[in-house]
Structure 1
Amino acid sequence: MKTKLVRIGNSQGIRIPKPVIEEIGLSDEIEMILKDNQIILRSAEQTRKGWDSAFERMAEEQDDQLIDKEKVETPSEWDETEWTW
C-alpha cells in the first residue's frame, strides 16, 4: 500500500485508513520503532500488563519465595562492622 506524507504543522505524517487501524487493533497510543531503515507502528503495550494476575498465581502456588533468602538474610561483613543504629 502506498501513501503520501502530509504536512502537519512543522512536521509530516501519514494517514492510516480506518480499515487498517481496525484490522491491526491500533488504539490512541501507538509505539513507533525504527529498525533497519523501516518504521514499525504497533499498539503501545501497557507496561507490566498482566503482572497482577501473574503475582496472584505465584502466591497461590507458593512460587513467590526468595531464592537467595539465606544470602539476603545473613548479615554481611559490612553489616557487622560498619552499620550502626
Structure 2
Amino acid sequence: MKAHIVRIGNSRGIRLPKTLIQEAQLEDEVELQAEPGRILISKPSRPRAGWADAARRMREQGEDHLIDQPMPTRFDKEEWKWR
C-alpha cells in the first residue's frame, strides 16, 4: 500500500486507513523507530514486561541467588537495633 506524505502544520505525516490500523492491532499510542529508508510503527512496550516470568524461570533453575554477598554498613553495625 502506498501513501502520500502531507503537510500538517509545520510537520509532515501520513494518513493510515482504519482497516490497516485494526489489522496491525494498534491502539491510541504507538512507538516510532526510524531506520534508513523506513519508519517502524509498533505497539508500545510495557516497562518490565516479562520480568515476572523471567524471575519464575530463574527460581525454577536455582539461579535466583545474589551475585554479591551483602556488606554490612556502619548503620548496620552502630545504629540499627532489633526490637
User: What TM-score results when the alignment is normalised by the length of structure 2?
Assistant: 0.65
1:73 counterpart SS class: coil
Taking structure 1 as reference, are residues 63 and 18 closer, same or farther at Cα in structure 2, changes over 3 Å only?
Answer: same
How many Å apart are 1:8 and its aligned residue? 2.0
Taking structure 1 as reference, are residues 51 and 73 closer, same or farther at Cα in structure 2, changes over 3 Å only?
Answer: closer
User: Where in structure 1 are there 5+ consecutive unaligned residues?
Assistant: 76-83
Aligned position for 1:54: 54
Aligned position for 2:9: 9
Distance 2:69 2:25 in 1: 47
Where in structure 1 do 4 or more consecutive aligned residues deviate above 6 Å? none
Taking structure 1 as reference, are residues 23 and 10 closer, same or farther at Cα in structure 2, changes over 3 Å only?
Answer: same
More helix by share: 1
How many Å apart are 1:55 and its aligned residue? 2.1
Distance 2:22 2:42 in 1: 12
User: Where in structure 2 are there 5+ consecutive unaligned residues?
Assistant: 75-83
1:26 counterpart SS class: coil
User: What TM-score results when the alignment is normalised by the length of structure 1?
Assistant: 0.64
The alignment's C-alpha RMSD in Å is 2.6
Count of residue pairs the alignment pairs up: 73
* Residue identity matched to 2:69: E
Distance 2:28 2:37 in 1: 25
Distance 1:54 1:37 in 2: 35
Say yes or no: does 1:44 pair with 2:40.
no
* Residue identity matched to 2:26: L
